[in-house]
Amino acid sequence: MCQPIDIYNQRRNRVIPEFQRQIGSFRYSIEECFTNHDTTLANRPKTITSDHFSYGYKNFGFAPYGDLWRTLRRLSTLEVFSSVSLQKNAYIRNEEVSNLCSNLFRLSRDSRRVDLKYQFTLLTAHVMFRLVSGNRGVEESDPESEKRFLDDFKLRFFSSMSMNVCDYFPVLRWIGYKGLEKRVIEMQRMRDEYLQRLIDDIRMKKFDSTGSIVEKFLKLQESEPEFYADDVIKGIVVLMFNGGTDTSPVAMEWAMDGELWEEADVFKPERFEGFAGDRDGFRFLPFGVGRRACPAAGLGMRVVALAVGTLVQCFEWEKVEEGDIDMRPVFGVAMAKAEPLVALSKPWPEMVPILSQL
């Protein structure tokens, strides 16, 4: 008679090869989609949110594949995401990560409990705000002002770009189902007011050479006012605020969970041996692939690696409670953890002299 363990093994032997076969063919399909059929898949579906948030589809994250998309994407890559631009603004990421460590060090005197999701989101919001406008978005750096800044930022820019039920059943859109579209319109009104003020403020300062993205685009506007209209600039700012702050904190939260790695706290560079590039063929696609792949992969990687690396080097991290951390994901544009990651921090003794000087 079969023992339960045998039944388990028999099933496992049947299921795992089948699973591997399916994953294998899935990888093959992805490769096929993003090589031979990439142009066919280079458009995004139109949705209620894209209709209202995209500045008439001039925002290149939503724009249909074509000349406008190509020009804006090329320009943004050049002005914002190129290695040269990223090198020039490295000081912003360094200063903000240093601020984060200093805050955590101060907090660790009162309580060791750290809401990492909140801290990572705040970090990326500051980085994006500085890249876009040249300032942090908040004058004081006390916890209350920071919290107010982030709440306000989230309220305006953390709307999901995802699809809602009306996109699947357009009839619901016609009847104004649950006022969903009205809410999107109101949100866009709030956003637009805020963004216009941000652009006008920078315009009035007559470019004080912060080298910010808005400043760069306003300079281009002087020579070609029709093409670089305010709506195009606002579209790019929304991409930075939305694409930038919705994704990197999520990646950082997952990355702090060492159980994904074998012997995570051991220096073992050979674990990456045999990888074919950063996506290892078509095995990992964190930034997508093909024409619509993330143009900010370099920026995302730099923010995530610097923040996670520094936090691990400066602090010792422990679980708040015994047992496994809840690793369930939640459905969304970026696959976030359902429960925010909260952990106990303690500065490594040898880092205390450095942290106390930040």
H/E segment holding residue 329: strand 329-330
What does the alpha-carbon distance between residue 284 and residue 119 come to, in Å, rounded to a whole number?
Answer: 26
Q: Which is nearer to ligand HEM, 118 or 287 (CB)?
A: 287
H/E segment holding residue 318: strand 315-319
Kindly state the smallest distance separating residue 70's Cβ from ligand HEM, in Å.
9
Q: Which is nearer to ligand HEM, 192 or 246 (CB)?
A: 246
What does the alpha-carbon distance between residue 184 and residue 159 come to, in Å, rounded to a whole number?
Answer: 9
101 labelled ligand-binding: no
Q: Which is nearer to ligand HEM, 120 or 149 (CB)?
A: 120
What does the alpha-carbon distance between residue 129 and residue 245 come to, in Å, rounded to a whole number?
Answer: 10
Q: Which DSSP category does 350 fall into?
A: G
Q: Which is nearer to ligand HEM, 243 or 347 (CB)?
A: 243
Q: Which is nearer to ligand HEM, 41 or 352 (CB)?
A: 41
Q: Which is nearer to ligand HEM, 244 or 347 (CB)?
A: 244
Q: Which is nearer to ligand HEM, 55 or 105 (CB)?
A: 55
CA torsion, ordered 294, 295, 297, 299, to nearest 10 deg: -140
- Position closest to ligand HEM via CB: 288
Kindly state the smallest distance separating residue 7's Cβ from ligand HEM, in Å.
40
Task: List, as one string, the DSSP characters of 156-203.
Answer: HH----S--HHHHSHHHHHTTGGGHHHHHHHHHHHHHHHHHHHHHHHH
CA distances from 131 to 81, 236, 295 (A): 11, 12, 15
Kindly state the smallest distance separating residue 65's Cβ from ligand HEM, in Å.
9
Q: Is the CA virtual torsion 239, 327, 252, 113 positive or negative?
A: positive
Kindly state the smallest distance separating residue 80's Cβ from ligand HEM, in Å.
7
Query: Of 69, 73, 58, 65, nearest to 44 (Cα)?
Result: 65
Binding positions for ligand HEM, rule: CB under 6 A? 60-61, 73, 239-240, 243-244, 247-248, 251, 286-288, 292-296, 299-300, 304
Q: Which DSSP category does 204 fall into?
A: H
Quickly count: other Cβ atoms within 10 Å of residue 238's Cβ: 24
Kindly state the smallest distance separating residue 41's Cβ from ligand HEM, in Å.
8
Kindly state the smallest distance separating residue 352's Cβ from ligand HEM, in Å.
30
Kindly state the smallest distance separating residue 11's Cβ from ligand HEM, in Å.
34
Say if residues 49 and 184 touch (Cβ distance below 8 Å): yes
Q: Which is nearer to ligand HEM, 57 or 105 (CB)?
A: 57
Enter the tokens of residue 262. 């074998």
What does the alpha-carbon distance between residue 61 and residue 44 come to, in Å, rounded to a whole number?
Answer: 9
Kindly state the smallest distance separating residue 181's Cβ from ligand HEM, in Å.
23
Enter the tokens of residue 303. 């923010």
Enter the tokens of residue 247. 């994704």
Binding residues for heme: 294
User: Which residues make up each annotated binding site?
Assistant: 294
